[in-house]
Amino acid sequence: MKPAVDSSLVLTSLVKRYGNTVAVDGIDLTIPSGSYCCLLGPSGCGKTSTLRMIAGHELASDGQILLGNKYITYSAAADRGTAMMFQSYALFPHLSVLDNVAFSWKMRGKPVPERQARAKELLALVSMTPYLARLPSELSGGQQQRVALARALMTEPRVLLLDEPLSALDPFLRVQMRAELKRWQQELGFTFVHVTHSQEEAMALADQVVVMNHGRIEQTGSPREVFNAPRSEFVARFMGAHNVIASEAGPIAVRADRMQLTRSASGTTRPAAVKAIEYQGTYVQLSLVPQGAQGEKADAQWTATLPDAEFDAAPWQPGDTAHVSWLPHAAHALQPSA
């Protein structure tokens, strides 16, 4: 049921100021129609403000928002063609599942059979047909979330906005719901914009990851592009599993699993003391302190991960000296932050 409507979003020089605080500092972003976009970044980087400006829950201080071929920058929230799904599901506690979902059509004066039929269709999409008569208090967190999604879909949005939708769930349910979100987005075929501070969640879900820092976009790309070629030190550190290493040509990023360790020095290796070893199941993680490397900060620490079989064949001990190297293509030059 892929709709043919254009649900692309274009943000141009978008700014949000709260008094003297610049929460979003002139971002430019194109989100293709029908894609899954994750806005990713640490607390306070401006991702929720960006989402709320798209939703119309905050007015942009400057810049433009284009949905399809229509500027919605100053439109009322209800007229934008967007729907928001919140972290707290905000269902009406006294209404049944069916009535919660049908509510927006009731407000629009649609007849009972019509609104109930559509609500049932959407509740079937989110596998909630057996629970139509329940109250929200009689549902689990994951089930409440499904109902909240069905309710958001009743408004027939072209863009669904999700603000940390998985953060209230336990880790097991989070992974399950994540897979379902992806499936629903593919079935519905329109644009999803999902705010998260979890790089793991963004990598699992997104077609396009947008890494934000201090109200600006640090990097945009597919999860693979962003993970394998972080543009800045901030992105390398935020995505995790990377080392930021000083080199003559400036800082470089090397993935932890691309660090090669040997027991003797050669021309290109750098010495490091093995500080700690953690067994992680399929791999073993070593914390390394570089020894007298030029340009490294005094508190620099590197991480190397070795497949468990490789580690077991020649185990390292804390206090050992490892000589570290990497293949040329494993090193990525880092730019200064935006």
Residues in the chain, overall count: 338
Segment contacting ligand ATP by CB under 6 A, of 6-14, 44-52, 73-81, 296-304: 44-52
| Residue 48 in the binding site for ligand ATP (CB under 6 A) | yes
- What's 1's DSSP letter? -
Q: Which residues share a beta bridge with 86?
A: none
Segment contacting ligand ATP by CB under 6 A, of 40-48, 120-128, 268-276, 330-338: 40-48
User: Can you tell me which residue has the tokens 């610049």?
Assistant: 22
**Residue 21 CB, nearest distance to ligand ATP (Å)?**
5
Among 14, 45, 169, 181, binds ligand ATP (CB under 6 A): 45
| Residue 47 in the binding site for ligand ATP (CB under 6 A) | yes
Binding positions for ligand ATP, 14-33, rule CB under 6 A: 18, 21, 23
Residue 300: both structure tokens together: 């620099």
**Residue 14 CB, nearest distance to ligand ATP (Å)?**
12
Binding positions for ligand ATP, 159-198, rule CB under 6 A: 197
- The whole-angstrom separation of Cα 274 and Cα 301 is 10
Among 9, 14, 41, 259, binds ligand ATP (CB under 6 A): 41
Which residue has its beta carbon closest to ligand ATP? 48
CA 9 to chain centre: 17
CA angle centred on 45, ends 295 and 18, rounded to 5° = 130
- The whole-angstrom separation of Cα 61 and Cα 54 is 12
Q: One-letter amino acid identity for 37?
A: C
Segment contacting ligand ATP by CB under 6 A, of 42-50, 67-75, 277-285, 286-294: 42-50
Among 4, 20, 43, 281, binds ligand ATP (CB under 6 A): 43
Residue 229: both structure tokens together: 């070629």
**Residue 209 CB, nearest distance to ligand ATP (Å)?**
15
**Residue 61 CB, nearest distance to ligand ATP (Å)?**
12
Spatial strand order in the sheet of 270-279: 260-262, 321-325, 270-279, 283-290, 302-307
16/258 with CB nearer ligand ATP: 16
C-alpha closest to that of 81 among 22, 179, 5: 5
- The whole-angstrom separation of Cα 330 and Cα 334 is 13
44/251 with CB nearer ligand ATP: 44
Helix axes 141-153, 171-188, angle to 10 degrees: 20
User: Are the C-beta atoms of residues 205 and 181 closer than 8 Å to each other?
Assistant: yes
44/68 with CB nearer ligand ATP: 44
**Residue 45 CB, nearest distance to ligand ATP (Å)?**
4
| Residue 63 in the binding site for ligand ATP (CB under 6 A) | no
Residue 143: both structure tokens together: 């089930």
User: Can you tell me which residue has the tokens 């007015």?
Assistant: 59
Segment contacting ligand ATP by CB under 6 A, of 26-34, 37-45, 237-245, 256-264: 37-45
136/215 with CB nearer ligand ATP: 215
> Strand 270-279 to strand 321-325: parallel, antiparallel, or no bridges (unpaired)?
antiparallel
Segment contacting ligand ATP by CB under 6 A, of 45-53, 126-134, 177-185, 306-314: 45-53
C-alpha closest to that of 184 among 209, 167, 162: 162
Where on the chain is the footprint of ligand ATP (CB under 6 A)?
A: 18, 21, 23, 41, 43-49, 197
